[in-house]
Structure 1
């Protein structure tokens, strides 16, 4: 039973080890006899050829499987990011005025993270839509100060976000900025002046 468990633990080794074993054993199996004689490995195939062949097959197979798994994970992540980007493009176009005001706070304060009240209905809605995220601070945990927490705009949403999504023209005028300061959320007026 322990031998079977050890075989499955073998699959946890990094891919580079399988590549190394595959390259070394393929060299031993397929190199010219004179090359093996020059490095004093000519008798190893006679004595251990069957084991070298087995190691070659196993390591090459595991290397190929690891590469295939990596490709599938990469494609899955890429497709997930494309879907998220489309989702955020749609969500950001449908923001109401209060949601726009919250996102505008990041621009007005020129900060990537703000300490905001998470019990605010608009903030909760943006968290639910995954447009805002709670910042992890210590090994995946986060700190809440009363009802306030440090939030950021989701990185994919931030790349998709443009000035029109938050009620500004592409190059905001002084008048637009002044009006934006007047229409700030109550929590922002008290915290960020």
Structure 2
């Protein structure tokens, strides 16, 4: 460990928890701005310690405020991004044709997270291109085809958004007509 790493570690503010800055902010505010009868620590007017304590207080207050703003901006951006993605995924699900819906329906009929499909099928290729289906990796990032088939899984964000009834036509207790529709519209 070199001297550069030592100084980098000392001045890396991200490693210090925000709670420490909060405690210094609260204690400093109480110490410097509370009425004298409530403050337990008294500084002499000509004391250098008061100046150093005040500088530390100002720096910690600034870092605390920046951390708070960063957290608020990050959460706001994540919220807006999730809303946008959910809207795009709803639109994507709405635009799927009946063949693509039938492939997705299979995951719910079998109640499985992964299923084997022929990887050279046009419908499967289209769903992979649209990022609806992904290859389920067996070993690291490699894709292990099993004959003509490979294992696929549904995009986890889409899985949370898909409505079995509205998007795929699945109901809990289907009547004969609904059962016939599902049986006739199964993928090859």
Q: Greater share of helix residues, 1 or 2?
A: 1
Cα contact 1:84–1:156 (8 A) shared by 2 = no
Task: Summarize the Cα distance change of 1:51–1:171 in structure 2 as closer, same or farther, 3 Å threshold.
Answer: farther
> TM-score of the superposition, structure 2-length normalised?
0.74
Q: Give the unaligned 5+ runs of structure 2.
A: none
Tell me how far 1:135 sits from its aligned partner.
6.1
Write out the 4+ residue segments of structure 1 that deviate beyond 4 Å after TM superposition.
Answer: 1-4, 133-138, 141-145, 167-172
**CA separation in 1, counterparts of 2:19 and 2:135?**
36
- Offset of residue 95 of structure 1: 0.9
| Gap runs ≥5 in structure 1 | 187-193
Equivalenced residue count is 180
Q: Report if the CA contact (8 A) 2:107-2:115 is conserved.
A: no
Return the TM-score normalized by structure 1. Answer: 0.72
1:167-188 deviations in Å (ceiling 9; x for gaps): 45797433322432343223xx
Distance 1:145 1:44, change over 3 A: farther
SS at match of 1:33: coil
Contact 1:18 1:60 in 2 (8 A): yes
Aligned Cα root-mean-square deviation (Å): 3.4
Deviation string, structure 1 residues 96-146 (Cα, Å, up to 9, x no partner): 1221111111221234x12334724423322332333566899xx567543
2:116 corresponds to 1:116: yes
2:97 paired with 1:96: yes
Which of 19, 30, 34 aligns to 1:31? It is 34
Using the alignment, how far apart are the partners of 2:21 and 2:138 within structure 1? 36
Deviation at 1:61, TM superposition (A): 1.1
